[in-house]
């Protein structure tokens, strides 16, 4: 996800925010190595919206609520 335009990255991260609201998906994302990728995106030079979406994903992944 490190390459590509801002719009496609934002769309991908927005989908990941929605998917990470489910406990089963949280486990899959973490097991697939998604957390280090998201953290790397936060600390690399990106627009504010990309950083905000990454923070949303991490918030969802670390919450105990499945959004149900």
65 pLDDT tier (thresholds 50, 70, 90):
confident
Closest by CA to 66, choosing from 13, 24, 11, is 24
Look at residue 29 and tell me if it is in a domain: yes
18 pLDDT tier (thresholds 50, 70, 90):
very high
Look at residue 23 and tell me if it is in a domain: yes
The residue with greater pLDDT, 12 or 64, is 12
Look at residue 67 and tell me if it is in a domain: no
Instruction: Give dist(CA 49, CA 41) in Å, integer.
Output: 11
Q: What is the mean pLDDT of residues 15-40?
A: 95
pTM for the whole thing?
0.82
Give the structural domain span for 33. 6-62
Closest by CA to 7, choosing from 55, 61, 43, 53, is 53
Look at residue 50 and tell me if it is in a domain: yes
Look at residue 68 and tell me if it is in a domain: no
């Amino acid at each position: 996800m490190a390459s590509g335009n801002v719009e496609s990255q934002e769309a991908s991260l927005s989908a990941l925010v929605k998917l990470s609201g489910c406990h089963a998906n949280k486990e899959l994302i973490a097991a697939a190595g998604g957390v280090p990728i998201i953290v790397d995106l936060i600390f690399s030079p990106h627009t504010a919206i990309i950083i905000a979406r990454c923070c949303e994903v991490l918030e969802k992944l670390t919450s105990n609520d499945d959004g149900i």
